Structure 1
Amino acid sequence: MIIPDQTGRTAVVTGANSGLGLASARALAAAGAHVVLAVRDVAKGEAADVPGDVEVRRLDLADLESVRGFAEAWTGELDLLINNAGIMAVPAGVTVDGFELQFGTNHLGHFALTNLLLPSITDRVVTLSSLMHRFGSIAMQDLNWQQRPYNAERAYGQSKLSNLLFTLELQRRLTAAGSPVRALAAHPGWAATNLQSHSGSRVKDGAMALGNAVLGGSADRGAVPTLYAATADLPGGSYVGPRYGLVGPPARVSRSKGAKDLDLARRLWEASAELTGIDFPASLRA
């Protein structure tokens, strides 16, 4: 995808050392942006092939201390934050702070990062969701799977639904505050990356490998909706993906009924703020 000139703009891409994040970082840097690769493993970030004006900074979304450290070290304006990093259908586990691993990494880590950086953001926040959000539900009384038998796929679906609800409520708050910053979400369709190979099950990993071979597109193709959401003139709250579900040009696409629930979005936000101790910046509140 050819994107508009990004000269003079600064972008942070989480999980930018591989897969969709790497493809997005390369495209933005090639268009002239200063790109910060926010990665858990600095050595892997530095080894990533991203020509252009780039730098690598450590960020572990499964550790709120790391998230706070990244935000506290930030100086200057930030045009674009791409909340790309994520894990998928992994075995049961918890983050450093005791959150269910997928919910804690995919949603709470990005929730905290976005709110901490928001005073510096000038243009937009793009958060990656998934078609799998349609198979997720929000168990407000058990967000961290402490009362239910753990189900890796449903936990992933919950985290991806949370990404969309976060975008919905973030845009509502930005609008209420009179901020020009926009919150958008995107999904890649089916992109063949290393995201699908950490289930801990040979059978599941084998099935996903087959799916990658038959249905999956390249990381470059999968990054197109993200780049479209990051650079096109779209209204806040937009959800972008391949026009035909798994394939097709980038377009605004539909989301599940649950992903449009304003009250659920508000309640999830409040719960996320309580869990992380981080909320919408007071300086931006209406």
Structure 2
Amino acid sequence: MATEQKKWNVSDIPDLTGRTAVVTGANSGLGIATVDALARAGAHVVLAVRDPKRGEAAAATVQGRGSVEVRRLDLADLASVREFAAGWQGDLDLLINNAGVMNIPEASTKDGFEMQFGTNHLGHFALTNLLLPHVTDRVVTVSSGAHKMPGSPYIHFDNLNLTGEYAPMTAYSQSKLANLLFTLELQRRLAEAGSPVRALAAHPGWAATNLQSHDGSALRRVFMRVGNRVFAQDNKAGALPTLYAAVQDLPGASYLGPDGFGEMRGGPTLVGRSAAAGDPASARRLWTASEELTGVMFPELAVSVRS
């Protein structure tokens, strides 16, 4: 009789002593679960959070052989992103772009971008490129199965802010599709430059976190609460695809998610993406638009240092 194969979990994370990681949105949910697992494996982990007081409270719950610290980062404010990056010194082994907002009422970032696109994609786009000269191993960006929701989500290149046509789920899906296109183009640029750094993406499946509590629709909040009880896995299980992407030897541009039905829960595995998320032309177009919007470009200096 065949023996069921053991699924990968945090006990399989290798020793990370001497390695440094940044996790955005790290004070709750998937973020704090990711921080805790990396610290337990011996890494020094920086919680990059909008509210340092909440970050310190979260950091106090982490038990590990490694160490943690808290630094302020507001991805909805490019000045804050630049300040965070300017303050970084030394190597950064792992950059985990985890922070995000989901299905919120229409709002704008401090720089005038639609909040979900601006936070989930543009903030991380700027942060990654500004920190890239320090990154030694990989960048992992958290996307979502929502990138391929019914209706074939696409990037609204002619109206990225969705002005006059805003819908919370449309905006969220666009931002998560952007995460995957960003990863695809970042990996292409890294490989072309001969850099050893890899870009990967992951999604948590249906994870019960406080992300859904910010939904502007009372009906959707009720649906999410019921779904969290029936279908969801907890934040520790939801963080496993991100952790797998962060520590396993995987090809650049890999996309990880749960191996269960509908990719809603289960152990981490390689998963597929929509055709739109694998389109290199759209990835390049989005990169160009993101450079124009943020004023941040791919850092050639980082490439020359590694060549």
- Give unmatched runs, 5+ long, in structure 2: 1-8
* Structure 1: distance between partners of 2:226 and 2:111: 35
Match of 2:273 in 1: 255
User: Identical aligned pairs, as a percentage?
Assistant: 65
* 1:57 counterpart = 2:74: no
Equivalent position amino acid for 1:254 in 2: G
Correspondence for 1:28: 38
**Could you say what secondary structure the match of 2:214 adopts?**
coil
1:28-107 alignment runs, 5 A limit: 28-48=38-58, 49-52=61-64, 53-107=67-121
Q: Which deviations, in whole Å up to 9, do the C-alpha atoms of 1:26-60 show, x marking residues without a partner?
A: 00001000000000000000001113400000000
SS at match of 1:197: helix
After the TM superposition, which residues 153-192 of structure 1 pair with which residues of structure 2 at under 5 Å, given as runs? 153-192=169-208
CA RMSD, aligned part only? 0.9
- Does the 8 Å contact 2:255/2:270 carry over to 1? yes
Partner residue in 1 for 2:17:
7
Match for residue 279 of structure 1 among 297, 301, 304: 297
Pairs within 5 Å for 1:176-255: 176-244=192-260, 245-255=263-273
C-alpha distance in 1 between matches for 2:161 and 2:303? 29
Q: Distance in 1 between matches of 2:223 and 2:264?
A: 17
Larger Cα-atom Rg: 2
Q: Please give the alpha-carbon distance, in whole angstroms, between the structure 1 residues aligned to 2:128 and 2:302.
A: 13
The residue identity in structure 2 corresponding to 1:215 is F
Amino acid at match of 1:172: R
1:285 Cα deviation (Å)? 5.3
CA–CA separation in structure 2 for the residues paired with 1:150 and 1:38: 29
Would the aligned equivalents of 1:108 and 1:276 in 2 still touch at CA under 8 Å? yes
Compute the displacement of 1:91 (Å). 0.3
Give the TM-score normalised by the residue count of structure 2. 0.91
Q: Which segments of structure 1 move beyond 2 Å, counting only runs of 4 or more?
A: none
Counterpart CA distance in 2 for 1:142 and 1:47 is: 39
CA contact 1:21–1:84 (8 Å) conserved in 2: yes
Q: In the aligned structure 1, how far is the partner of 2:258 from the partner of 2:223?
A: 23
Aligned with residue 149 of structure 1, among 136, 159, 165: 165
- Paired residue for 1:17? 27
| In the alignment, structure 1 residue 119 sits paired with structure 2 residue 129 | no
The residue matched to 1:8 in structure 2 has which SS? coil
Distance 1:181 1:143 in 2: 29
Shift, 1:202, TM fit: 1.6
Where structure 1 has 5 or more consecutive residues not aligned to the other structure, the ranges are none
Equivalent pair of 1:239/1:252 in contact (CA under 8 Å): yes
Distance 2:109 2:141 in 1: 20
Question: Does structure 2 retain, via aligned residues, the 8 Å contact 1:67–1:113?
Answer: yes
- Name the CA distance, whole Å, in 2 between partners of 1:184 and 1:197: 27
Q: Which amino acid aligns with 1:263?
A: A
3-state secondary structure, aligned to 1:97 = coil
Counterpart residue type for residue 270 of structure 1: T
| SS of match in other structure, 1:80 | strand
Aligned-partner residue type, residue 67 of structure 1: V
Contact residue 177 and residue 284 of structure 1 kept, 8 A: no
Partner deviation per Cα, 1:149-171 (whole Å, 9 max, x = no partner): 21100100000000000000000
| Equivalent residue number for residue 268 of structure 1 | 286
